Amino acid sequence: MPTKHALLSASSSDRWIHCPPSARLSESYEDKGSDYAAEGTDAHSLCEFKLKTALGIEAEDPTEGLSYYDQEMDDCSTGYAAYVL
């Protein structure tokens, strides 16, 4: 999974849609992260695992290393994988 945040991320889309140059201008600021971002990263890792598993691609189950893993994340990631496939 990528470790660098996307230039045109969904979480900052309200800013860069209204001011496209802000995407490049904000690169000079440190990405400090947040608990919400960390939870999102955990969710993305779980979704990636479930999609790879469903496609028959070998993948390591990340659940033991996820700080924000809970039943809701499990349910949502299962629903996401089912929708995508």
Q: What pTM was estimated for this model as a whole?
A: 0.77
Residue 58 lies in a domain: yes
Sorted by sequence, the CB contacts under 8 Å of residue 73 that are 6+ apart come out as: 39, 42, 43, 46, 66
Check pLDDT > 80 for residue 4: no
Q: Rg for the chain (alpha carbons), in Å?
A: 15
Residue 52 lies in a domain: yes
Domain housing 79: 33-85
Instruction: Express each pLDDT in 8-65 by its tens digit.
Output: 988 889 999 999 999 999 988 887 888 998 999 999 999 999 999 999 999 999 999 9
Residue 27 lies in a domain: no
Residue 1 lies in a domain: no
